């Protein structure tokens, strides 16, 4: 982690001032913070007169189409750019190969497992969201927080704190929310859209997973298959936010969802109560995240990966520490 110094702040300011054409990207299977930080920074740069391409390799979920500027997001860059910025990514591979072999100019993130892969790394694990970092520093960097920018950043802030319910929420995070409201963000509407509203297909998609829900002591888990996705008409390749619902189940400490992907790969999502650091398990399997919320993508058949991950997670719960298992893992 790079210490947030005046030198670092000035380096980012100079990058924004001197650059003219920007590529802004975030991670595969984009969540609210990925989308919110992407749009927040992208729109702020556009308003400053910069040429900006905003790219998500997996595209944008329908649940974020209400945000201003969402129609500008592309799956691949179109043309050249001077400055490449990666947001909310702990590992460059999570961008879906958008940059090829190019090193990013700037990496802005809040994951404790961030690998500091850019020329300039603005990483603050104490921030509740990457959108919170932007809300704190955009004006300091010479960029304005207009109403469209505030709506995007509020979406990221609400999403990554699950409506200000995560244990890392601080008075500063709530002050940032108030600041964004002052700039035009409608908290109740954005909260509802980010956390409560969902498509008919995503609700159906939860059904098979809930019937498979299992428990061993205070560990709970379930899975979603490619067939489930096809049967229910769900077009995403994630869990439709099921993991956050499972994390609220009484008498459980860790929840897991295994989501089958094409090419014999399994997306794994962990959620943990205070006292367990699941980010270290995710990191050992090529992923990353936060102590209470982490993910990885692991090569293998669903049953094999499920057995391997459950064994590692149960060891964490029994010993309070994670002992690396031998397995074929790849980056999330």
Q: Residue 329 pLDDT > 80, yes or no?
A: no
Residue 322: band (very low, low, confident or very high) from pLDDT cuts 50, 70, 90: very low
pLDDT digits 0-9 by tens, 58-76:
999 888 999 999 999 999 9
Helix (H) or strand (E) holding 223: strand 219-224
On whether the CB atoms of residues 295 and 289 are closer than 8 A, the answer is: yes
pLDDT digits 0-9 by tens, 81-96:
999 999 999 999 999 9
pLDDT digits 0-9 by tens, 297-317:
999 999 999 999 999 999 999
- What secondary structure does DSSP assign to 62-122, as a single string? GGGTTSTTGGGEESS--S--SEEEEES-SSGGGG-STTTTPPPSEEEE--TT----SSEEE
Q: What is the mean pLDDT of the chain?
A: 93
The confidence score (pLDDT) of residue 321 equals: 52
**Any long-range contacts for 212-215 (C-beta under 8 Å, 24+ apart)?**
213/246, 215/252
* d(C-alpha 6, C-alpha 68), whole Å: 32
Domains of the chain, first to last: 6-196 (3.90.1640.10), 201-330 (3.10.310.30)
CA 227-233-234 angle, to 5 degrees, is 85
Alpha carbon distance, N-terminus to C-terminus of the chain: 20
pLDDT digits 0-9 by tens, 136-193:
999 999 999 999 999 999 999 999 999 998 888 999 999 999 999 999 999 999 999 9
pLDDT digits 0-9 by tens, 178-228:
999 999 999 999 999 999 988 999 999 999 999 999 999 999 999 999 999
pLDDT digits 0-9 by tens, 98-119:
999 999 999 999 998 899 999 9
**What CA dihedral angle connects 107, 109, 113 and 114, to 10 degrees?**
0
- What secondary structure does DSSP assign to 118-131, as a single string? SSEEEE-TTSS-HH
CA distances 163 to 54, 99, 130, 159, 301, Å, are 26, 32, 15, 6, 34
């Amino acid at each position: 982690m790079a210490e947030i110094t005046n030198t670092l702040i000035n380096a980012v300011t100079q990058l924004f001032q001197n650059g003219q054409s920007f590529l802004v990207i975030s991670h595969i299977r984009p969540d609210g913070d990925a989308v919110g930080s992407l749009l927040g920074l992208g729109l702020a740069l556009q308003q400053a007169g910069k040429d900006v391409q905003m790219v998500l390799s997996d595209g944008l979920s329908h649940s974020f189409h209400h945000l201003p500027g969402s129609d500008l997001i592309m799956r691949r860059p179109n043309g050249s750019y001077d400055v490449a910025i990666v947001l909310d990514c702990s590992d460059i591979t999570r961008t879906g190969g958008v940059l090829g072999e190019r090193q990013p100019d700037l990496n802005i993130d809040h994951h404790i497992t961030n690998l500091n892969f850019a020329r300039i790394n603005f990483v603050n694990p104490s921030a509740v969201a990457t959108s919170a970092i932007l809300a704190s520093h955009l004006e300091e960097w010479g960029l304005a927080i207009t109403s469209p920018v505030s709506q995007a950043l509020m979406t990221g802030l609400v999403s990554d704190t699950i409506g200000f319910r995560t244990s890392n929420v601080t008075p500063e995070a709530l002050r940032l929310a108030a600041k964004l409201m002052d700039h035009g963000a409608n908290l109740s509407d954005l909260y509802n859209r980010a956390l409560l509203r969902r498509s008919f297909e995503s609700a159906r998609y939860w059904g098979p997973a809930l019937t498979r829900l299992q428990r061993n002591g205070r560990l709970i888990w379930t899975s979603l298959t490619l067939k489930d996705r096809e049967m229910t008409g769900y077009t995403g390749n994630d869990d439709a936010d099921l993991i956050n619902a499972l994390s609220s189940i009484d008498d459980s400490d860790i929840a897991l969802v295994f989501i089958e992907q094409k090419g014999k790969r399994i997306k794994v999502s962990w959620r943990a109560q205070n006292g367990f650091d699941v980010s270290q398990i995710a990191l050992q399997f090529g992923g990353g995240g936060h102590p209470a919320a982490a993910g990885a993508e692991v090569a293998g058949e669903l049953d094999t990966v499920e057995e391997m991950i459950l064994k590692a997670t149960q060891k964490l719960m029994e010993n309070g520490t994670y002992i690396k298992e031998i397995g074929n893992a790849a980056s999330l």
